[in-house]
Amino acid sequence: MLFVKQRGGNLDGPALGLPMWINGTSIKDWPLEPIEIVDGVPFAITYQWQAYGAPTRPNQYLLYCMANCEWSDYKFTPKTEQQKKEAMAKIIVSPKWSVPLNKSEKDFFASQLR
């Protein structure tokens, strides 16, 4: 959310392990993994990670981003409850899902609005 890749560069995510994707999606569907931003509202799009080795320490990842990325120019602003609900409605019907989300998957997104 804070950094974007440099022109012609990469923006590698932190080593957190193997993501447990919602609804059979994959990294190719979510370039900002572990989040998706819809109308300025960030949503987690993985339930959890299976640990493999030691995770990247937060300070190490920040240093990586500062050296290899650019600051995002997106200005996040507080959203109203209605704006959050509208963003959630959009992610629930995203064409990225291979099949419609089930109740627990929809509840996962709804829980993020609280």
CB contact at 8 A, 20 and 48: yes
Residues 6+ apart with CB under 8 A from 74: 1, 40
Give just the sign of the alpha carbon dihedral 37, 92, 106, 50: negative
Q: In which domain, by residue range, is 38 found?
A: 3-111
pTM above 0.85, yes or no: no
Look at the chain and report how many structural domains it folds into.
1
| Structure tokens belonging to residue 1 | 């959310």
29-54 per-position pLDDT tens digit: 988 888 899 999 999 998 888 887 88
CA angle 6/11/14 to nearest 5° reads: 150
pLDDT of residue 85: 97
